[in-house]
Amino acid sequence: MTKSTAKAPLAGTPSLLRAINDRAALELLLENGPLSRTQIGTLTGLSKPTASQLLARLEAAGLVLPVGTTAGGPGPNAQLYQVNPAAGYVAGLDVTTSEVRVAVADITGTTLAEHTAPTKGWPASETVARVAGAVAETVRAAGLAEGILHTVTIGVGGAPDPVTGKLRYASHLPGWHAPKLLRELSAAIGAPVSIENDVNLAAVAEQASGAARGSEDFVLLWAGEGTGAAIVIAGRLHRGFTGGAGEVGYMPVPGAPVLRDVRRRNSGGFQELVGAPAVRALAREHGLGAPTAEGSVARALETPGAGDDFLAALAGRLAVGLAVIVAVVDPQLVVVSGGVPTAGGERLRALVEEELARISIARPEVRSSALTGSPVLLGALQRALSAAREAVFSTH
């Protein structure tokens, strides 16, 4: 008889239990706003003495603040507490070929300042300095001290290789491929920096507070100047072996020529159908020319006849790519985002869902993005906040 080598589970130590209770209380305060000792005790199941000790610890650590008292109820007024906004600050960036958008937020998720700087004409050699300068400008606009940021997340139209850290699928972003880029950005900004695919960050934002909130399995299709997808399985982003999961612009699909050497051309099948140049060309075929893809879609919505035909054709193209993705992933939900779906609104969404149901065995619900502003910027802030909270809330 072989002797078992399995270890007995470790009992929770008092310090571990305190840490778990403290983190639970902080999450409740973030989600529900100011709470009293009694409310925290009720929501966590802790006794009043234990809840009082918990709040004293968190206040001494600078993680919570007293913010007034309850009023209007029976009995004496109760002290209310909230997470201390100054416990940490983060920045999120959305980098495109034309601009970099920066937002700075406190640990509660409140955005304190935003700043946009043009990127056209930036020498590749000045990328680090220019990005750091844009971040510094936003920090100043927020009224914060230099070097105060805890974490920075940058969204770009490429895929960081999880092994090498090299940015792939991003030849359109000169200056972002240097081997020491992350190290140099971190040193110039004065905080740890991470780079994430922009469409993945849009999915992070939709899952946190948008159309995919509460969904554990969904696909986000981004259609605009570029085309991409984010895949969330069991609540987690699926990045793939090289970080390129979701680079569906390169995906061969019916109706588009099969291009060889797609890396060199930085294009591919699905992009040739639904990328901005293809949308503008399709609009011209229907007599709906406009300077931008979004403008073409907007014009179609106001043009009976030709506009209806254009929208039906565009929805068919989007559905073809989605059908391929859905056949492999079988998601609960599809979210469409980016400039083209946003311009098309409910009408284009409904046409895409209808056409997808015709050509796909799986028939997931199709929803439009429910976010205002830049989904990529919101996702970058969300990712930076998650990292900062994990560090700050776990080390007091």
112 with 134: CB under 8 angstroms?
A: no
pTM score, whole prediction? 0.89
Q: What is the pLDDT along the chain (396 residues), one digit of tens a residue?
A: 444 444 444 445 677 788 888 999 999 999 998 999 999 999 989 898 999 999 999 999 999 999 988 765 565 778 999 999 999 999 999 999 889 999 999 999 999 999 999 988 888 889 999 999 999 999 999 999 999 999 999 999 888 877 777 787 777 788 888 778 889 999 999 999 999 999 999 999 999 999 999 999 999 999 998 899 999 999 999 999 888 899 898 899 988 878 776 665 556 689 999 999 999 999 999 999 899 999 999 999 999 999 999 999 999 999 999 999 999 999 999 999 999 999 999 999 999 999 999 999 999 999 999 998 899 999 999 999 999 999 999 866
| Rounded-to-integer distance, Cα 235 and Cα 3, Å | 39
Cβ neighbours around 361 below 10 Å, total: 9
366 strand-pairing partners: 334
Q: How many helices (H) and strands (E) does the chain have?
A: 13, 15
| Rounded-to-integer distance, Cα 251 and Cα 265, Å | 14
What is the phi/psi pair of residue 52, to 5°? -65, -45
Q: Which stretches within 256-305 are classed as H helix?
A: 262-265, 269-274, 276-285, 293-301
DSSP string of 110-122? Answer: -EEEEEEEE-TT-
